[in-house]
Structure 1
Amino acid sequence: MYEDQTSKHHELFIIGGGAAGLMAAVTARDQGIDTAIIESNDRLGKKIITTGNGRCNITNQSTATGTDEAVALSHKYHSNQSGFPIHVLRQFGVRQTIEFFSSLGLPFVSLENGRMYPMSLQAASVPGVFKLALEDRNVPVYYKHKVLDIIVSEEHPRFTIKCQTETEELVEYTSEYLFLCTGGLTAPKTGTDGSGYTLVERLGHTMIHPVAGIVQLKLDYPYLKELSGIKFEGLGHIIVNNEVIRSEYGEILFTDYGISGPPILQLSRKAAYNLGRGESVTLSVDMMPERTEEEVIDFLETHWAIFGHRTVADAFIGIISKKLIPVLLKEAGIDQQVHLLCEDLSWKTKKIFYRLMKRWEFKVADTNSFTNAQTTAGGIDTIDLVEGTLESKIVPGLYLAGEVMDVDGDCGGYNLQWAWSSGHVAAMALAKRRAGTT
């Protein structure tokens, strides 16, 4: 039985004290809404603390200098409804985020590629200032509460939230409005276990199958142990049905299970979705992206001609990682014990090296798990939400914010920006609804 005497009522309950929920709570309270948070952990923003290698990449200002920031910013996001994010980003983008955190007493510092962090370079600063902001505004937080079910009524109060406490006590909370900010499936140890999906699906919403995003790729390749630890600046391409569907440049790192590095993380979403559809996915790596294929041929031909007396293995020293050379020789069918000289290379073998330098292809077997992923691609279908307010079309008074919905961003602070943007926009939309201005 649920104990009636433990029931508590607030006009708005926010389920989830992560990035989106914290932004929504502060914004809603500033608009005069009686707000409370239900959080399954013993502290707020547990996942935030793990982001940005412990520094928290709050946002990215590289899109904030154009004539239409929202358009530039929206290109960093992915959704089954491709135009959905821009309606949110137009209302609250990078500049508004900087101003908001400044008002809480958290200044930013901009580092590489426009990435912005708290000046302290400590991720814990972010939930720290939010905790102070909630205390200043008298926003209660119900910690260690696991939401089991949500009941919707046509009467008042509209929502009944059934929870289990740490001591396994069953309690009920009621509200007129409800925000779901429960996150996706990444970093399950921080509480983002996907349970929010179940709650929203029970209320009639549909879900786009979630896959790991911004994650390393597993390769089906026999020499991964030999390649592990090798890194270089290169260009990666995801190929499906002989078509390049996305390309990214940057530092690429081979691992004992496959491949990683910023370009690979950016490409992983495309790989994951196509693997999920049963497609064969190939990763092509260009190790000399600064040169055209013709320039690579000219370079190697000249090099081999000058150093024809050297072995092929020795001739590659200084051009590529020494650790990489034995694997390339295997790919070209050259026995390293034979000590083949450059002047004895056949045209057929040369062509293999040309291809490896510009189009070294690997079969993608899988991605790493949600535990290793930085974001969830997929989630509650945005077709069930009102563009620009994030209110449910199916359950009026219910709003979604953050990773729980089918919107995910590129690496570089864009997923946290979506949390800030969606949390703020949902809270403002509710405030306008209450005021009768929508």
Structure 2
Amino acid sequence: MHHKLFIIGAGAAGLMAAVTARDMGIDTAILEGNDRIGKKILMTGDGRCNITNESTATGTDEAIALSHKYHSNQAGFPLAVLQQFGIRQTIDFFSFLGLPLTRLKEGLMYPMSLQAAAVLDIFQLALEDRNVPVYLNNKVLDVTVSKNHPRFKIKCQTETEEEVVYTSDYLLLSAGGLAGPNAGKEPPGYTLAERLGHTLIEPLPAIVQLKLQYPNMRALSTIKSQGQAHIIVNSKVICSEQGEIAFTDYGITGPPILQLSRKAAYHLARGEQVTLSVDLMPGRTEEELVEFLERLWETFGHRTVADCLVGIFNKKLVSVLLKETGLDQQPELLCQDLSMKTKGKFYRILKRWEFKVTDTNGFTNAQVTAGGIDTSELIEGTLESKLVPGLYLAGEVMDVDGDFGGYNLQWAWSSGYVAAMALAKSIQ
């Protein structure tokens, strides 16, 4: 079976590339190892699919602002892609396919139906409208390159374990990363790119929960609180985020933690000690906190410490705070009898409660993969391989990952579109 272009991987980037390439008149087909397209899309945005984030749409500076949401060993690499296809183009594209978007809090954009399945349904219809063949249950085993045409030979194994060879003049790898359903098995995109001469930068889980070392972890489980989190390495705060944090029986999660997890993962991989510091009263300076609590102790001196705190913090958290300060042995202690030493412990914990980070919660629970194919081996602005002419990459397979909040799907749409358009111009 021969097509002008084969796309390996029917995820977000591959689907975008397929629709774009076909609209440019290219004979396009998709190879997918699963039994359906876009499985990972169904998991995004808590099943609602956070398609993009409009908060960085700032007119002429949109692409620059958006590029700051991405991470790569080549820091400036994403900009040339985002300048060609950004947030506005994404919104227009989905409207063109018949999927209007709606904006929720903090600029997060979702399908109007708030169903991730709607995104897959729309892409399925778009592929059918354009007569784009999708070969499901085709696990890619190997790709060989020839100087003659057809340039690429793609060996696959079907669900019946039959081996089939497909050929194409152009190839686009969009087989994703290690996060989510692919956990525990190497995506064919990495393997194939390496076999074709490319370099793999170590993949690490990102946008993922953190595991903490703390003796009372189970007591903290299910507690949620507004707070500010800091990642500390070598006694230096390297990044901070604020918002709702949630403790679990193994560690901690919530938007601020997911945002910080990439940094934690990289420093842990280097064998460095990583500490998480949590500020449970981010709206007050340390001086304001002391003044607030001193007034509280004085006003309600006749109450027990537990009764005094229960109106401020989650009752379950109060129990842990009492244990942390040693007051669990004095449950009847009145506020008026608190020593300065014990008060100091409260102030320190509420502003700087430190935990040792032992690990991330792994690829299975990660939303995205940091690392991937080295972008220095790709042409900026086209995503064509510098090593293998006619080979293009898109999506999570390359060393680009975005912040929490729709930015990784935005990269999938942007890179899929740009690679397909560059390929079309190359053919023309």
State which drifts further: 241-250 or 174-183: 241-250
What amino acid does structure 2 have at the position aligned with 1:37? I
* CA distance in 2 between partners of 1:130 and 1:337 (Å): 62
* CA distance in 2 between partners of 1:194 and 1:296 (Å): 50
1:92 Cα deviation (Å)?
Answer: 0.1
What amino acid does structure 2 have at the position aligned with 1:355? R
* CA distance in 1 between partners of 2:78 and 2:136 (Å): 31
* CA distance in 1 between partners of 2:327 and 2:284 (Å): 25
Alignment match, 1:4: none
CA contact (8 A) 2:212 2:359 kept: yes
What amino acid does structure 1 have at the position aligned with 2:197? G
Alignment match, 1:114: 107
The structure 2 residue matched to 1:147, chosen from 137, 140, 145, is 140
The structure 2 residue matched to 1:161, chosen from 154, 160, 169, is 154
Alignment match, 2:343: 350
* CA distance in 2 between partners of 1:199 and 1:284 (Å): 41
CA contact (8 A) 2:10 2:30 kept: yes
**1:174-185 correspondence runs (5 A):** 174-185=167-178
1:120 Cα deviation (Å)?
Answer: 1.3
Task: Establish whether residue 47 from structure 1 lines up as the match of residue 47 from structure 2.
Answer: no
* CA distance in 2 between partners of 1:86 and 1:38 (Å): 29
CA contact (8 A) 2:304 2:331 kept: no
What amino acid does structure 2 have at the position aligned with 1:49? L
CA contact (8 A) 1:107 1:118 kept: yes
1:244 Cα deviation (Å)?
Answer: 1.1
* CA distance in 2 between partners of 1:334 and 1:314 (Å): 13
The structure 1 residue matched to 2:29, chosen from 16, 31, 36, is 36
Deviation string 1:310-335 (CA, Å, 9 cap, x unpaired) is: 22222211111111112112222224
CA contact (8 A) 2:183 2:364 kept: no
Moved over 3 A (4+): 189-193, 335-338
Alignment match, 2:208: 215
CA contact (8 A) 1:184 1:192 kept: no
CA contact (8 A) 2:40 2:181 kept: no
2:139 is paired with a residue whose SS is strand
**1:39-438 correspondence runs (5 A):** 39-188=32-181, 193-337=186-330, 339-435=332-428
CA contact (8 A) 2:306 2:331 kept: no
Deviation string 1:283-337 (CA, Å, 9 cap, x unpaired) is: 1111111100100011111111222222222221111111111211222222434
Alignment match, 1:5: none
2:119 is paired with a residue whose SS is helix
What amino acid does structure 2 have at the position aligned with 1:211? L
1:44 Cα deviation (Å)?
Answer: 1.0
Distance 1:152-1:52 versus aligned 2 partners, 3 A rule: same
1:192 Cα deviation (Å)?
Answer: 7.7
What amino acid does structure 2 have at the position aligned with 1:99? D
1:351 is paired with a residue whose SS is helix
What amino acid does structure 1 have at the position aligned with 2:74? Q
The structure 1 residue matched to 2:7, chosen from 3, 9, 14, is 14
What amino acid does structure 2 have at the position aligned with 1:139? V
Deviation string 1:101-133 (CA, Å, 9 cap, x unpaired) is: 111111111111111111111111111111111
* CA distance in 2 between partners of 1:192 and 1:402 (Å): 18
Deviation string 1:137-189 (CA, Å, 9 cap, x unpaired) is: 11111111000001011111111101001111111011111000000011226
* CA distance in 2 between partners of 1:289 and 1:260 (Å): 17
CA contact (8 A) 1:20 1:419 kept: yes
* CA distance in 1 between partners of 2:412 and 2:357 (Å): 30
* CA distance in 2 between partners of 1:209 and 1:90 (Å): 27
1:28 Cα deviation (Å)?
Answer: 0.6
* CA distance in 2 between partners of 1:410 and 1:32 (Å): 34
Q: Percent same amino acid among aligned pairs?
A: 73
TM-score, length of structure 2 as denominator length: 0.97
1:91 is paired with a residue whose SS is coil
- Count of paired positions: 428
1:238 Cα deviation (Å)?
Answer: 0.8
CA contact (8 A) 2:229 2:276 kept: yes
1:394 is paired with a residue whose SS is coil
Deviation string 1:27-49 (CA, Å, 9 cap, x unpaired) is: 01111111110011111111111
State which drifts further: 159-168 or 310-319: 310-319
* CA distance in 1 between partners of 2:188 and 2:6 (Å): 17
1:265 Cα deviation (Å)?
Answer: 0.7
CA contact (8 A) 2:243 2:256 kept: yes
CA contact (8 A) 2:221 2:248 kept: yes
CA contact (8 A) 2:97 2:122 kept: yes
* CA distance in 1 between partners of 2:269 and 2:138 (Å): 34
CA contact (8 A) 1:20 1:181 kept: yes
